[in-house]
Amino acid sequence: MSDQKRGFKTPFDHSTRFAQKRLHLGVCGSVACYRAADLLRAWRGMGMHVSATLTPGARRFVTPMLFESLGAAPVYEDMFSQGQEIFAHLEPGQHAHAMVVAPASADALFRLAHGAAGDMLAAQALAFDGPLVIAPAMNPRMWAHAATRANVALLRERGAHIVAPACGGTACGDEGEGRLAPLHDIFLAALKALSPQDMAGRRVMVTLGPTREGWDGVRFWSNPSSGLMGAALAVCAWLRGAEVTAVCGPGVRARMPQGIARRDVVSARDMFAVAAALWPQMDVGMFTAAVADFSPRPLGGRKFKKAEAPQGFSLDFLPNPDILQNLAEQRAPGQKILAFAAETAPDMNALLPLAHAKITRKKADLLAANRVNSADSGFASPTNSMVVVDANGCEEIWPTQSKADVAWELCSWLLRM
């Protein structure tokens, strides 16, 4: 299923780490319930098994056949539907690794919070003792009501993860907080519920994307980095429980969850200033940004005119601060550093000596090098082929895989160090 057809994309769309995981999806009566179909497509596209329950209200908007045709199995309806297993209300709790209710109506929030069991979805939730993700959607005044807020607070107190509604216009014409959260936030919240929380308690900083070094009023020196590799690492660390701050160069469009703090910068010096201020509070630094090593000497805020140099012209370049090396030299005991190297080597074996030389020079704990002159591991590619080395002399050559899977393996390697 293409990203365009399912309406949203994230840095973890192509991960294989969740294949064969089992998720149960509850869909409640809300105008937004048709959007649950896109969530189902996304999870199914990752190889996950998804079952679903549609409340009577949801079935006024969408049909069970829609969810069955998109691969949900089984699709539950009423508690005592003809032909249904007598203990169907217990099955998600016996088989699913996580449960998501999206959208969740105000009435559903009440029933979930107070342990009602008079309908199929409420009974399934009451019998489910795994991670529960809830994405409410309703009229803004209903969402703001004290009763709704009390139900949400009770659910949070019991461990449910609430993906809060977004602000904006609703189907009824009102404006305010109540719209279903962006689908990528709900999608990633489900993946977090399915992920080991082995990075919980760690604070992680990720630098990602390009930098832009301006030289006149409208032009700049840069590179085509999309920041996708760094975004995959930021999302991976967040999925696994870390507190993540992403320092993003210009043009980084990768969708990251609300739980990741984002700091946007433009130039290499901007990135250095922000990263240096954050670094003393961090446990891990992941330096994936394609930072310009040099910047042109600025010509001022005016636009340089072609008529000023009909025979061509030259620019003077000045060195930028080396973010990785400077922060590595300032690190406190226990801080870990993951570095990246973008190279134009002829093959993967030729990357090994370059990687070993750079990890020694930069004083990193782990370094991943890729060939940006290769179609399957260059800038903006969804995949990477990596050479990985660590400070203990270990080395591996990884085959082409999604950047999400690369991120997962790199986080796991760091945890072992």
Can you tell me whether residue 344 is helix, strand or coil?
coil
What is the Cα–Cα distance from 34 to 228, expressed in whole angstroms? Answer: 29
How many C-beta neighbours within 10 Å does residue 259 have? 16
Annotated ligand binding at 365? The verdict is no
Q: Does 194 belong to an annotated binding site?
A: no
Whole-number Å distance between alpha carbons of 389 and 395: 4
Residue with tokens 């005991």: 333
Encode burial over 37-65: b for 16+ CB neighbours within 10 A, e otherwise.
bbbbbbbbebebbbbbbbbebbeebbebe
Residue 409 corresponds to which tokens in the numbers above?
């393996």
Distance CA 363, CA 398 (A): 22
Is 336 one of the annotated binding-site residues? Answer: no
Contacts for 225 with CB less than 8 Å, ≥ 6 apart: 208, 209, 210, 249, 289, 290, 379, 380
Bridge-based pairing state of the strands 294-296 and 317-319? antiparallel
Catalytic, out of 167, 172, 236, 411: 172
210 prior amide bond cis, ω within 30: no
Annotated binding residue 21: no
Tokens linked to 416 = 């072992």
Burial class (CB in 10 A: 0-12, 13-18, 19+), 414: buried
The answer to whether 405 touches 15, Cβ cutoff 8 Å, is yes
Handedness of CA 162, 163, 167, 168 (dihedral sign): negative
Q: What is the DSSP letter of 283?
A: S
Beta-strand runs (E) in 105-256: 132-136, 161-162, 166-169, 175-179, 203-208, 213-214, 220-221, 243-248
> In which region does residue 115 sit, left (phi positive, over 0), alpha (psi from -120 to 50) or beta (all else)?
left
Q: Is 172 a catalytic residue?
A: yes
Where does 184-237 show beta strands of DSSP type E? Answer: 203-208, 213-214, 220-221
Task: Please report which residue ranges of 279-417 form alpha helices under DSSP H.
Answer: 323-330, 348-362, 403-416
**Is 303 known to sit in a ligand binding site?**
yes
Token duo for residue 342 = 């973008």
Distance, in Å, from the CA atom of 121 to the CA atom of 287, rounded to the nearest integer, reads 44
Q: Which residues are annotated as a binding site?
A: 293, 303, 321-324, 340, 358, 362
Q: Which residues are annotated as a binding site for CTP?
A: 293, 303, 321-324, 340, 358, 362
Q: Which residues are catalytic?
A: 172
